[in-house]
Amino acid sequence: MSLAHLRPLSFGEIIDGAFVLYRRNFATLVLTALIPLAPAALLSGISMGQIATFEQEVSVGTLVLLLLMALVGSFGGVLAWAALTRQASQAVTGETVSVRDAYAVGFQSLLPLLGAGVVAYIAFFGVVLVVSLVLGVVGGFLGALGGTAGMVIAAVLAAVVTGAVMLGLLGAIFAVAPAVVIERKGPVEALQRSWNLALGAWGRVVGVCLVSWLIVLLPMAVIIFAAGFGTGAFTAAPDEIPVHLIFWQQVLGILAGALTAPFFVATLVLLYYDRRVRTEALDLEVATERLGAMA
C-alpha cells in the first residue's frame, strides 16, 4: 500500500490489513519490540524470583530491583510502541520498514508520549472518580429502596457503566501514538487529535480496538499458560511454586507481548489512517498533491 492508494477501510479490512502488515514485516517488527522489552523481562523475572524466596519481608536490594524494573519496563514499553507506530506507518505508506529509523523517531517521540500517558492517566482516574461517586449515590438509593434486589441492580448498573466508560476512554486515546509519532503533536495536542478523530465513529473505533486486543490476548494467554502459569494459578500454596517457574512466567509473559504488540499497533495505525481518510479526505488530498507534482 502507498498513500496514493489510501481509501476507506471496512471493519474486517482493518483487522485483515493488520495481519498482512504483521506477516510481511514479522522479523523486523518483533525485533523492534524485543530490543527494549528484553531487559524489562529479565529484570522482572529476577525480581519476582527473589520476592518468592522471602516469606516475611523483602530486602532493600529487591525493592530497588523492582523500581528499576518498573522504570525500564515503562520507558521500554513506550519506546517500543513509538518505534512500532513508525514502522507500521512506513508499511502503510509504502516506505521501507527500518529498525534504525524507527528508534530514531521513537526516541524523539518518547517524552511527548510519556506526557500524553500521564495526562490520560490523570483524566482517566478523574472520570472514574466522578463516575464512582455518582454510582455510589445511585447504588445507595437503590439499595435503600429495594433491599437485596436494589443492591443487585446497582451492582449490575455499576459494572455496565464502568465498562462503558473504560471502552469510551479506549476509543478516545486510540490515535495518540500516531498523532505524536506521525504528526509530531505534543501530549495535549495528541489527546485532542485522537478525540477528534474518534468523534462520529466511537462504536466502530472501540469495536476495532476491542477485537484486536482480544486477538492479542489469546496467544499471550497460551504462552503464559504453557510456561506453567496454569498450574500455578490453581496451586493451593503459591509459595511452593518453584522460583525458576516464576522467573520464566515473568520473562515469557513480557516477551509474549513483543510478539503480539506489533499486530495491535498495526491495527491502530490502519484505523488512524482510515479515520483521516473518512474525516479529512486524506486520500483526495494526497491524490491532488501528486497531480500537482506531475503537472
Q: Are 15 and 212 in contact (CB under 8 A)?
A: yes
Residues 90, 85: Cα–Cα separation, whole Å:
9
Cα-based torsion angle of the residue sequence 20, 22, 26, 30 in order, rounded to the nearest 10 degrees: 180
CA 136 to mean position of chain CA atoms: 30
Question: 76-109, pLDDT tens digit by residue?
Answer: 888 999 999 999 999 998 889 999 999 999 999 9
Range of the domain at 162: 3-294
Domain count, the chain: 1
Spans in the chain with pLDDT lower than 50: 4, 55-56, 231, 233-234, 236-238
Q: Are 52 and 239 in contact (CB under 8 A)?
A: yes
What integer pLDDT is reported at residue 58 of this predicted model? 56
What integer pLDDT is reported at residue 285 of this predicted model? 64
What integer pLDDT is reported at residue 137 of this predicted model? 72
What integer pLDDT is reported at residue 128 of this predicted model? 73
What integer pLDDT is reported at residue 189 of this predicted model? 94
Residues 63, 59: Cα–Cα separation, whole Å:
6
Residues 258, 252: Cα–Cα separation, whole Å:
10
Could you tell me which residues come within 8 angstroms of residue 231 by beta carbon, excluding any fewer than 6 positions away?
245
Could you tell me which residues come within 8 angstroms of residue 158 by beta carbon, excluding any fewer than 6 positions away?
135, 139
* Cell reading at 240: 511452593
* Cell reading at 124: 482517566
- Find where cell 524485543 sits: 34
Classify burial at 221, counting beta carbons within 10 Å of its beta carbon; exposed 0-12, middle 13-18, buried 19 or more.
Answer: middle
What integer pLDDT is reported at residue 99 of this predicted model? 93
173 phi, psi to nearest 5 deg: -110, 10
- Find where cell 502507498 sits: 2
Q: How many CA atoms lie within 13 A of 247 on its CB side?
A: 9
186 phi, psi to nearest 5 deg: -80, 175
Q: pTM for this structure?
A: 0.78
What integer pLDDT is reported at residue 144 of this predicted model? 65
- Find where cell 527473589 sits: 50
